[in-house]
Structure 1
Amino acid sequence: MDTPTKTLTFETRLDLIHEQDAALCQYAELWNQVKFRWFANLQKPKAQQLNRTQFMHEMGMPFSYRVFQGVRQSIKGLIQSYQTNRNNRLVTLDVKIKQLEKTLNKLKKRCDHVAEKGSPQQAKQLRNRLRQKEVKLRRWQQKQSALVAEKQENKTPICFGGRKLLKERQALETGSAIEGWKQRWHEARHREFLLVGSHDESWGCQNAQLSPSEQEGAYQLKLLVPHQLRATFGTTINIDHLQFKHGKAAIAQAVWQNQAKKHNKSIKGQPLSFRFKRDKKGWRLLVSVEVAGPTEQAEWIGDDQGVIGVDVNLDHLAVVELDRNGNPLQHRTFDLPLHYKNDAQRAAIIGDAVRDLMDFAAQQSKAVVIEKLDFQQKKRQYQKQDHPQYARMLNAFAYGKIKDLIETQSIKRGIRLYHVNPAYTSLLGRMKYRDRHGFSDHHAAALVIGRRHYGFKEKPPKQLIGINAKGTVKAEHPPVRMALGDYQYYHKLQRWYQPLETSLDFLSGWRHFRRVNRVSYSVEARLDGRPGMSPDLIQESTTLLSAHPAL
């Protein structure tokens, strides 16, 4: 089986003298000048863009090819990140616009009804509310049109230094305030640089070589100075006594491989990339290394004894443990209360939840199975929910971060991670396993995800047993499969099951008892505007449903 790999980044704080700090500042300024020019070159029409050789000749060759590769990789990452965020914003706007259009249609019907039979004051309030919704819809549609036009024109409006700091300039009037702003603007635009490595280079990166130091557990960094700065700062900058709080095993393995390669050419070196970033406290060094195996244990945990199925949701991870035959053993819930939290708090909450998930998987010695989804697909699954609190949860949803952290932890801890097709897992879970095992919708979906890893086919039950508001037990039969493929038949099942699931005339199993166990009832309780069940009828129907031979 192929060994999965993941690029991990570890950081440390640099303890520099004044000359070294000045050298890194000059290096960052020169590097970022090339970066800005290269980005401007890429924004031109394709026919007018310069290739790498033409561009470096025009710039006067300030860097070697390997240093310029860091510039190209940095710009490529920025552009890809902006385009991904733009696509996510388009998905979010599309969801919001569809929901608001539905709300407007309901409001218009209500306005017409109140205009005929209601009071003038109520009609006026509804018209004002309708106008506000229409203004919001036009504003969202304008944003959507602007983003679509920007995407079609292949534009990437990136502000180096940050839009927030740029906008501060408009409120400044005095000369001293403007000079202070210019200093902060310059520092924000020239505070980092990236040096990429390769496995065939000395010590994994020819421009920044990380090697063992005389002090145990420490390293020394030899940084090659660009030609323009050598007259001032010399050929190299030597930074000693580097220590990493995290990732010690991964960095030690990479340095050992690069050291062994110098004596044995058959050993493949380990590429190392270095990002230098300056903040208020000074310079930080971020080292990226490719990890191809568990760093916390000797062997991988596979799927021989079973798997852990995981369904990622807005506010929790639904987890089900399965044996090798696809039978559920136990289920867990790891909460993700991400709304009303800032970025740092969300990162901590996600980290704790993923850590608990991996602890559970390691304790049971079983692999983990998740959906093979991206952020846009996951967000579309929730677009039908229309509630302010749900919208805030969706806005705080960090599916990409959750998925990435699960992948990282699986490699570090040696727990195999598998991805499966997520099509119709929620439908099959609700239809087949929710009532049988007393699971929630999400735990039932996690069970289907785990079973799908082993290739089990999900057949619908021969009949679904339910009870209506009058206490009559009913049976519904799924459509015949005929010669349809798996996913074609699942789509047919979905069209049959969704109206049945939302009908009050058919309350099956788990949904029925959740309905029964509501906090309060009146004699004429209403759910979704329809007549409900009285307390006496609830008790009677519960007895009937429990005693039915098919349950």
Structure 2
Amino acid sequence: MQSGATFSYQTRPQLDAGQEAALTAYAALYGRVERSLFAAMQTKASMNDLKRQFLLKYGITARQFNAIRVGLEGKIDSIKARRPELIGELQSRIKKAQKTIQKIQERLETLRKPEAAFKKGKTVKTLSPEDRALAISKAAFKLHQKKRRLHILQTKLAAMQTDQKDGHVRLCFGSKKLFHSQFDLEANGYADKSAWKADWQAERNSQVFILGSQDETAGNQSCPAVVAADGTLTLDLRMPNACEADHGKRVQIAGVRFAYGHDKIVAALASSQRIAAKTKKGADTIKRIGSALSYRFVRDAKGWRIFVSCSVPAAALSTRQDLGAIGVDINANHLAVSILDRFGNAAKHLRIDTHTYGKSSDQAKAIIGDAAVKIVAMAATSGKPVVVENLNFAKKKAELEGARRAMARMLSSFACNQVIASIKAAAFRAGVQVIEVNPAYR
């Protein structure tokens, strides 16, 4: 198992009006700088030159600029890494759509013949003129819609391939879904354009990322945390220079406690210490070591949430392969679990439902997370490792064209990678080994 991993924990703090106003002002500035930096990066200007310009222009510190840069580069790298997979998926969908169109066209040709017949099972029934006209109408409508869909897919593919060739990245700050909702205000619950614009601006200015470093006080000099006598945390947030006049240089948020991972965060804070060291030239010096803690403040419909990311050491391994294994077969709406004895014989089978269609992203994560915890708990109790297939559902999702509606919805809402990631995370915390196997050799 790996020696350590980065985990994120979240909580919802109790904020007063002044603290909320300060975070709102910080987020508005953060969003404006992030969008401006993204635009400036398209000019291929030196990042050092941009940094000097932005520090003066927007009144931010060097660490705050670095946090914005790192967050933005992460988004860009994510798009670039995902794009080849999306291109392959689009190509597969186009092939599938073309085959579906060909079948519909053949069906139409048959229906338009005077002797058109309808085959159901082993019986063949000649269609009446009325039934044939209705069948032709339905098939023609379906053909039209499939051709429209094919054109959309081909247009998307062409644009994506051009971006891939040119190295161009498109980013919509505020989400594409919310952006497109302005074109049908009533259907999306907006009385007028101004109501939509208020939501749009709020969404674009709804978060702040504070980058941590292991050589900084408490793992983050821009937001150091102190453990209070009652065990809660007090965050000391450094405001941008541009916000100091209205909100002061620092904003303290006391009474912060995390329902999950609080002990891990406290341990990471305790690891920060100063030690004697040597410079490259051999001179004596003092440096700080510890664990980096990065913070993200995110505003949603209920208020502000605080996310903390820190490194967590791996738990001691508690499973052995010679005891058997717990095999997990990942399906679109459930996990099929097989408990194997040390000889490889199946001792027990069970099914864990993971219906995520129609659920919000948070609800889907909770469903998958609960399933992962249940599987890992069985593994920890029995001392057996978990075996999962190294699957890629991109091909399955590419076959959505022409699939039954129920199956298409189910596959579209399914997140195979999230299931595997949740199992790995739960196993890491419990000291359970996870073995990934190629499904072709199971």
Which interval holds the TM-score relative to the shorter structure? 0.7 to 0.9
Contact between 1:315 and 1:393, CA under 8 Å: does it hold in 2? yes
Aligned residues: 411
Task: Label 1:168 to 1:104 Cα distance change in 2 as closer, same or farther (>3 A).
Answer: closer
The one-character-per-residue Cα deviations of 1:397-427 (angstroms, maximum 9, x if unpaired) are 21121111111111122211122333x23xx
Structure 1: gaps spanning 5 or more residues: 426-447, 449-551
Task: Label 1:334 to 1:15 Cα distance change in 2 as closer, same or farther (>3 A).
Answer: closer
1:139 lines up with 2:152 in the alignment: yes
1:102 lines up with 2:115 in the alignment: no
Structure 2: gaps spanning 5 or more residues: 117-126, 186-190, 277-285
Which amino acid in 2 is paired with 1:277? V
SS at match of 2:171: coil
Q: How far apart are the structure 2 equivalents of 1:3 and 1:135?
A: 49
Contact between 1:321 and 1:330, CA under 8 Å: does it hold in 2? yes
* Equivalences for residues 427-506 of structure 1 within 5 A: 448=442
1:32 lines up with 2:31 in the alignment: yes
* Equivalences for residues 101-500 of structure 1 within 5 A: 101-114=98-111, 115=113, 117-118=115-116, 122=132, 124-125=136-137, 126-167=139-180, 181-215=196-230, 217-258=231-272, 261-262=273-274, 268-294=289-315, 299-376=317-394, 379=397, 386-422=403-439, 424-425=440-441, 448=442
Q: How far apart are the structure 1 equivalents of 2:181 and 2:99?
A: 39
Which amino acid in 2 is paired with 1:416? Q
Contact between 2:30 and 2:68, CA under 8 Å: does it hold in 1? yes
Greater Cα radius of gyration, structure 1 or 2: 1
* Distance apart, 1:263 and its partner CA: 6.7
Q: TM-score, normalised by structure 2?
A: 0.81
Q: Percent identity?
A: 31
The one-character-per-residue Cα deviations of 1:204-228 (angstroms, maximum 9, x if unpaired) are 111111121122x211112223333
Q: How far apart are the structure 1 equivalents of 2:13 and 2:407?
A: 44
Contact between 1:278 and 1:284, CA under 8 Å: does it hold in 2? yes
SS at match of 2:224: strand
Which amino acid in 1 is paired with 2:4? T
Which amino acid in 2 is paired with 1:417? V
Task: Label 1:327 to 1:251 Cα distance change in 2 as closer, same or farther (>3 A).
Answer: same
The one-character-per-residue Cα deviations of 1:11-63 (angstroms, maximum 9, x if unpaired) are 22233333333332222222222211111123x2xxx3122210022224433
SS at match of 2:372: helix
Q: How far apart are the structure 2 equivalents of 1:384 and 1:235?
A: 56
Contact between 2:332 and 2:410, CA under 8 Å: does it hold in 1? yes
Which amino acid in 2 is paired with 1:108? Q
Contact between 2:328 and 2:386, CA under 8 Å: does it hold in 1? yes
Q: How far apart are the structure 1 equivalents of 2:357 and 2:243?
A: 49
* Distance apart, 1:342 and its partner CA: 4.0
Q: How far apart are the structure 2 equivalents of 1:177 and 1:128?
A: 34
Q: How far apart are the structure 2 equivalents of 1:406 and 1:133?
A: 38
Contact between 1:358 and 1:410, CA under 8 Å: does it hold in 2? yes
Task: Label 1:3 to 1:282 Cα distance change in 2 as closer, same or farther (>3 A).
Answer: same
Q: How far apart are the structure 2 equivalents of 1:166 and 1:243?
A: 35
1:79 lines up with 2:92 in the alignment: no
Q: How far apart are the structure 1 equivalents of 2:100 and 2:18?
A: 63
Q: TM-score, normalised by structure 1?
A: 0.66
* Equivalences for residues 31-70 of structure 1 within 5 A: 31-42=30-41, 44=42, 48-61=43-56, 62-70=59-67
Q: How far apart are the structure 2 equivalents of 1:171 and 1:13?
A: 33
Which amino acid in 2 is paired with 1:395? S
Which amino acid in 1 is paired with 2:165? Q
CA RMSD of aligned residues (A): 3.2
Task: Label 1:140 to 1:288 Cα distance change in 2 as closer, same or farther (>3 A).
Answer: same
Which amino acid in 1 is paired with 2:294? S
Q: How far apart are the structure 1 equivalents of 2:358 and 2:54?
A: 48
Higher relative contact order (CA 8 A, sep 6+): 2
What's the counterpart of residue 489 of structure 1? none
The one-character-per-residue Cα deviations of 1:154-173 (angstroms, maximum 9, x if unpaired) are 3333222234444555678x
Q: How far apart are the structure 2 equivalents of 1:157 and 1:331?
A: 46
Q: How far apart are the structure 1 equivalents of 2:77 and 2:70?
A: 10
Q: How far apart are the structure 2 equivalents of 1:184 and 1:363?
A: 48
Which amino acid in 2 is paired with 1:358? V
1:14 lines up with 2:13 in the alignment: yes
Q: How far apart are the structure 1 equivalents of 2:244 and 2:401?
A: 62
More off after superposition, 111-120 vs 407-416: 111-120
